[in-house]
Amino acid sequence: MVAIGVQTLRSQVKDSFEEIARLREESAKKDDEMIVIKTKLREIEARLYPPLDGLLSSGVDNIHKWIAALTQVAEKHTQSSDQGMQSNAAPFGGYVSLLDQ
């Protein structure tokens, strides 16, 4: 009976060490991913900060113009995306109508 308990305990300890090793590997991968993400964020910050800082210090009128320009770009992008989706869906319209019957 004691031998069975010792074997069970050894098995559980072995399983625990394997789980710890697996979790350490997973943690190391996550750390590596986090380093990559932080590096990318720093690169983005380095590219965006100087122009944004200049814009913010240039005054409210320039900020409003900049926001209006970004809004126009976003609207054009949205319209072209919608048109692209519609043109991609057009060839399937006949098949959809057949399914409705």
Query: What would the pLDDT profile of 29-47 be if each residue is shown by its tens digit?
Result: 999 999 999 999 999 988 8
Asked if pLDDT for residue 95 goes beyond 50, the answer is no
Does a structural domain hold residue 52? yes
Does a structural domain hold residue 99? no
Does a structural domain hold residue 84? no
Residue 23 belongs to what domain range?
2-79
Distance of CA 73 to CAs 14, 23, 60, 66, 77, Å? 60, 46, 20, 11, 6
Asked if pLDDT for residue 23 goes beyond 90, the answer is yes
Q: Express each pLDDT in 66-94 by its tens digit.
A: 889 989 999 988 887 766 666 655 555 54
What domain count does the chain have?
1
Does a structural domain hold residue 73? yes
Q: What is the pLDDT of residue 2?
A: 63
